[in-house]
């Protein structure tokens, strides 16, 4: 199946731990994103990579570090987890970002992170 795949789907961990969420897309897209969705459903972009190059880096704590080993993968590593990091994290991908950001995004199913 062609898709954006995220693992794990659920992640429950203690405060202070370090965790990673992996994302892979087999759509041949060259841009990948990480979004955070809070309990009120608000979608906030965190990072965007185009051909392994970081192009969007919104104001997120340094504890969040994206890593793109190739254009089909974009992983998210979170250090020293805090209660406020609890959310659903979505990976997405699209074809070239173009000049206007007018790209169709394909989202993964999300990874629900719960920090206790």
Partner 1 sequence: GENVEQHPSTLSVQEGDSAVIKCTYSDSASNYFPWYKQELGKGPQLIIDIRSNVGEKKDQRIAVTLNKTAKHFSLHITETQPEDSAVYFCAADSNYQLIWGAGTKLIIKP
Binding site for partner 1 (CB under 8 A): 4, 40-45, 48, 55-56, 90, 92, 97, 99-105, 107-110
Gap between the Cα atoms of 81 and 16, Å rounded: 5
CA distances from 87 to 8, 27, 42, 57, 81 (A): 13, 26, 10, 19, 12
Q: Quote the least distance from Cβ 18 to partner 1, whole Å.
A: 25
Mark 68-80 as b/e (b = at least 16 C-beta within 10 Å): beebbbbbbebee
Q: Quote the least distance from Cβ 54 to partner 1, whole Å.
A: 12
Of the pair 62, 100, the CB lying nearest partner 1 is at 100
Gap between the Cα atoms of 14 and 115, Å rounded: 5
Of the pair 45, 72, the CB lying nearest partner 1 is at 45
Of the pair 75, 108, the CB lying nearest partner 1 is at 108
Of the pair 15, 54, the CB lying nearest partner 1 is at 54
Q: Quote the least distance from Cβ 16 to partner 1, whole Å.
A: 28
Q: Quote the least distance from Cβ 79 to partner 1, whole Å.
A: 25
* Distance from the first to the final alpha carbon of the chain: 35
């Amino acid at each position: 199946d062609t898709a954006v795949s995220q693992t794990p789907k659920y992640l429950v961990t203690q405060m202070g731990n370090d965790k990673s969420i992996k994302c892979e897309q087999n759509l041949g897209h060259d841009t990948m994103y990480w979004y955070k969705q809070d309990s009120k459903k608000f979608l906030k972009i965190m990072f965007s990579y185009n051909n392994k190059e970081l192009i969007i880096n919104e104001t997120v704590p340094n504890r969040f570090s994206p890593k793109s080993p190739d254009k089909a993968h974009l992983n998210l590593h979170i250090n020293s987890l805090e209660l406020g990091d609890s959310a659903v994290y979505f990976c997405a991908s699209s074809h070239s970002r173009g000049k206007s950001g007018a790209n169709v995004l394909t989202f993964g199913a999300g990874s629900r992170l719960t920090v206790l």
